[in-house]
Copies of this chain bind each other. A is one copy, B any other.
Amino acid sequence: MNSLFKALNDPTRRSILELLREQPRTAGEIAEHFQFSKPTISHHLDLLRQADLVSSDKQGQFVTYTLNMTVMDELLGWLLQFKS
């Protein structure tokens, strides 16, 4: 739960999740959408992976990142505890 909230506590990382909502993308494609350096984006992707919010798959030189919804469901459960 800690790594999840930590990962979500950054606007760039939340934007990345919204990008991946549409479709999987490579690290480079993701980086193109932001003004930060590639190492910075790589670091954000690492935190998202640590939180299990995304998974990564290496194909040749490219690394494709995919949104992983299962952890979001956990957050949803935590939230719903307040709705009663």
Contacts and interface: CB of A to CB of B under 8 A. Distances in A.
A58 interface: no
B17 A9 contact: no
**A contacts with B: majority SS:** helix
Contact of A72 (B8, B14, B69, B79): B79
B69 A21 contact: no
A19 to B, nearest CB: 12
A9 B6 contact: yes
A2 interface: yes
Nearest to A5: B9
Nearest to A21: B82
A67 interface: yes
